[in-house]
Structure formats: C-alpha cells, structure tokens
Structure 1
Amino acid sequence: MTMDPITTVDTDTQRRLLALLERGQADQDTYARRLSPDERAARGELHNWSPKDEVAHNNFWRQDAINRLKAALDGSSPPDTSDDLAWNDRIFLEQRETPWEQLVGETERLRAETGALIQLFTRDDLSQKNRYPWQRGDSLETLVLVNWYDHPAEHWANVYLRCHEVEHALELRRAVAATIRELFPDEPKLYSYMILKLGAYAARGARAEQAIGAIREALTVNPSLYEQVRKDTDFDPVRALPEFQALFGAQGQS
C-alpha cells in the first residue's frame, strides 16, 4: 500500500509543490472531460495544435522539470531547452501520431516521478534562487510552478478562448491566481503576475470591466508592472478606455 505523498513530506515547500502537481493534473482532467472522442483523437498542424498536441507539449515541459530536478540532485547539467520555440516544433512533429490515451497516461507517470523527486530535496534546495546556474536565477520551486501549473493553465485558457468559452478561461485563471495567493502568501509579487495574466485573458475575451479590475489590482500590489502593462499587446482591446487611461493618471500617459 502506498501513502499519499502529501502526508509524508517534511516541509511546507514540498507540500506546496505537491499541491501544484495535483492542481495541474486536475486542470488537465477538467479540460479532457470537455472533449468528445473525436476531439481527443484529432490531428493538429504545426502551428494549429489539436487537444492532444497541447498535452504532448505540456508533457515535454513536465519532463524538462524532471530533468532539471535530477540534475540538481546529481550535480550535472540538464539538456539545454532554452530555444523553446524550436523545441515546441520538434515535440509536435515527434508526438503528433501519439494516441490521446498514451499521452494522458504519460502525464500521470510524470506527475508521480516529479512528486517522488520533490521529496528528495530540502526546503532550501527548492526555494533558493541562483543556486543552479542552468536555472538562470530562478529556483526549482519556480520551475515546478511554471512547468506543472501556470504554463499548462495558460494553454488550457488559450484553448477555451479559441473555442469562445471565455468564462471557462477566466474561471481557470482566477483559480490560478487564488492558488498562488493561498500557497505563496508571502510573495505578493508572484500573485500580482498571476492577477495581471487574468486581466490579459479578460481583455482578450472582451470582458473589459474584469480586465480593468484585474489590472488595477495587479498594479496596486506591484507598481513595477506599469511598464509591462504599457507595452503588452494583450491589453490593446481595453487600452483606449477611460478606465484604463485612468490607471496611468499619476504615471503619465500610456
């Protein structure tokens, strides 16, 4: 009989990361339940992915997280995946014929392996930045957060928007922001990034009031985001609104 990993870990950092694995898996499962058998089996194109291409893509970056965790444990360097666009194309071509069932089974395997690896690290191993040069300043905790939770959620939200299911996209991104606030209460900047992403999805989905509200909250929490908001084209749908311009009243014109 195996024990639930969350009941056997030693640190809050480990518990937090295992919770992110669980919620990332749940987001994919929720997405999968919305698909018909034909949609699950559909073949995509290089820059027009099908549902199973999205899963294959996310699995690659989950495996990348595993490779980096293993490298941290044994003192080696993981494969270089810095050219992410090239890797994305390569993985699409390699995995385009892989059946849906095999891909989702691989997600479960990757989750189990990632969870087991997380439990081998101390809190400092996971949370310290600049500890591993190939992480380019980020911590292993950030690696797991991005590759297992936030980045896949971006993909599912993008799919929902393409299918004109705006509320599902926003519901997911609200849940991500709430999760970050719950699990990382001492990192308000991290929360600000997630609430700003919610604003971007709301703007893209023509939910102007929700977009402005999220942008306002993000800027209140983290004023350093003003310049990003000025430049991010995701906010173009609401940029001309007086409510948006008012956000920059004390900062000059956008």
Structure 2
Amino acid sequence: MSKTLIQKVGSLLRKAYQAEVNLIESLSDGERSAEGNFENWSPKDSLAHTTYWRQRMVETLAYTFRNQPPPSYPPYDEVNRQVYFEKQHTPLPALLREAEDTMRALQDALNRFEDEDITDPARYQWRNGIPLLSYILGNGYIHVIHHLVHTYRKLNNLSKATSLQDEALQQLASLAELGKSRAVLLYDMACLLTATGNHTQALDLLEESLQIDPSLIEWSRQDPDLDALRDNPRFQQMTGG
C-alpha cells in the first residue's frame, strides 16, 4: 500500500529530527554538553531552538484543526532570544527528552489531518492562499535542515552539510503533491543555499520559486536571508530590483 501524503510528511519530519539526534550522538562528551552564546549556538542550543518551533507547530495545528487561526506571537527574533536564555543551562538529557516528547506530539497532531487539508490553498483562511503543507515542511523539515547544515559547517564537516542539503532537495522533489507549496519550499531552500555560499544553485531555486508564485518577488527584494545575492545581476533581473 502506498503512503499517504500525511505519512510521507510525517516521515520527513521524523527523519530531520533523527538527524539532529544522530549529530549529537556523534559528538564528544564535551561537545555535547557545551554551552554557546546567543550569537554562536552550541548543538544543544540548536536542539532547544528547533524543539520550541515544533512545540509552536503542535499548538498551531491544534488551532487549525478546529478551524481557528493560531494566536498572535511575539516577533521571531524576540522569541528566539527568549527561548535561548530560558534553555541555555538546561542539561542535554532533559532537552533530548523534551525533544522526543514534542516529536511524538507533533506526529499525533499531524495525523489528525487528511491529505486534502494540507494541500488545499483555500482550506484555512489564516494561510492567505498558501497550503498548510508549506508551513509544516518549512518549519519541521527545512528549518531543521538549515540548523543542521550550519552546525556541520561549524564542525568543518562540509561533506555531511552538503549531503544533507542535497537530500533535502531530493526529498522535496519527490513530493508530486506539493502544488503551490513548492514555491515557498523552493524559496526556503534558496535561502539555505545562499547562507552556505551555494549561490548558483540558490538562484536556480529562487527563479523557479518566483515563476511559480510571483507574489514572493516583493518579499525577496527585502529578505535579509538573500542579501548575499542582492548584487548579482541574475537576482536583480528576476526580482526587478
């Protein structure tokens, strides 16, 4: 029996989480327990961060399942700072238990939906015409891969960082059901590739994204995640600025 889209998405979210666990298990005892600072996160800081955003997704999906808009949250940067300082001194075993509990809760929340619930762009008013699928994969998969790639690069494991990026692209390409969500996810991947210096590939994905959904052009003109591309003639041509 072939998997439903919900099952495929759930598998991707679990895969990204397992990759975080695998990274931590590959570290020395000192690296695992190390504390960073707000400008330079340690691996356990990153785990606390992604766990928080999974927890928020559990809450958002609960509201969405009841056909209610999610609550308003403080700005992204403010929340990240608050989470960092709340969790800065939490021992790694406690963070891992919280992460596993959160991952199970997320899987349960996701399983309440049907495939059409997450692919219909008009299903939920708060999504403003963008399918719920892009939020789920963007938050629970691409966001996690972004932090993993960043950590592996800091550890000078460039081959692992590259393989994670490539696998993420392949996984997204395999989801024929993406529809309009593909534009947002390609855009997110372009931001990730920009941050890691893969500018040509980033521009390829960004161009495809903007062709699918031209409404993203305006945001791309001001998105700080794309600042490294801003002087590139190809970027200027596709964004008109």
Matches within 5 A, 1:87-106: 87-106=79-98
* Cα distance in 2 for residues equivalent to 1:146 and 1:177: 13
What's the secondary structure of 1:142's corresponding residue? helix
> What is the RMSD computed on CA atoms of the aligned residues?
3.3
Per the alignment, do residues 31 and 144 of structure 1 end up closer, same or farther by CA in structure 2, a change over 3 Å counting? same
| Residue matched to 1:206 | none
Evaluate the alpha carbon distance shift between residue 37 and residue 123 of structure 1 in structure 2; reply closer, same or farther with a 3 A threshold: same
Amino acid corresponding to residue 212 of structure 1 in structure 2? T
Shift of 1:16: 2.3
Tell me if the contact between 1:180 and 1:190 (Cα under 8 Å) persists in the aligned partners.
no
Q: Which moved more, 1:43-52 or 1:222-231?
A: 222-231
Q: Which of 171, 193, 203 is residue 215 of structure 1 equivalent to?
A: 203
Q: Per-residue CA shift, 1:139-168, capped at 9, x if unaligned?
A: 332222122111111111122233333332
Partner SS state of residue 70, structure 2: coil
Specify the alignment match of 1:32 in structure 2.
24
Question: Which residue number in structure 2 is paired with residue 112 of structure 1?
Answer: 104
Correspondence 1:157 to 2:185: no
Matching residue's letter, 2:158: V
Cα offset for 1:107?
1.7
Q: Which residue of 2 aligns with 1:148?
A: 140
Q: Distance in 2 between matches of 1:81 and 1:96?
A: 21
Rounded Cα–Cα distance in structure 2 between residues aligned with 1:142 and 1:55: 22
Offset from partner CA, 1:163-202 (integer Å, 9 cap, x none): 3333322221111111100124654535643553464145
Contact 2:229 2:235 in 1 (8 A): no
**What is the distance in 2 between the residues matched to 1:151 and 1:252?**
24
Q: Which runs of 5+ in 1 are unaligned?
A: 1-6, 204-209
Question: Per-residue deviation at 1:56?
Answer: 0.7
1:73 is the counterpart of 2:61: no
Q: Decide whether the 8 Å contact of 1:219 with 1:226 is kept in 2.
A: no
**Deviation of residue 39 (structure 1)?**
1.4
- CA 1:120–1:230 in structure 2 vs 1: closer, same or farther (change >3 Å)? closer
State the distance in 2 between where 1:17 and 1:58 align.
17
Distance 1:30 1:53 in 2: 15
1:137–1:58 CA distance, 2 compared to 1 (3 A): farther
1:120 aligns to what SS in structure 2?
coil
Match of 1:193 among 171, 183, 187: 187
2:183 counterpart SS class: helix
Q: Is residue 164 of structure 2 the alignment partner of residue 172 of structure 1? A: yes
- Secondary structure at 1:177 match in 2: helix
- Residue pair 1:126, 1:139 contacting (<8 A) in 2 also: yes
Q: CA, structure 1 residues 13+97, in 2 after alignment: closer, same or farther (shift >3 Å)? A: same
Q: 1:48 aligns with which of 37, 40, 43?
A: 40
Aligned to 1:235: 229
Amino acid at match of 2:21: D
Residue 86 of structure 1: how far off its partner (Å): 0.8
CA contact (8 A) 1:200 1:211 kept: yes
Contact 1:13–1:127 (8 Å) recurs in 2: no
Corresponding residue SS for 2:35? coil
After superposition, what is the alpha-carbon deviation per residue over 1:111-136, rounded to whole angstroms, capped at 9, x for unaligned? Answer: 21111222222223222335444445
Structure 1 residues 94 and 136: alpha-carbon distance in aligned structure 2, compared to 1, 3 A threshold:
farther
Structure 1 residue aligned with 2:6: 14
| 1:14 alignment partner, SS class | helix
**Shift of residue 96, structure 1, vs aligned partner:** 1.3
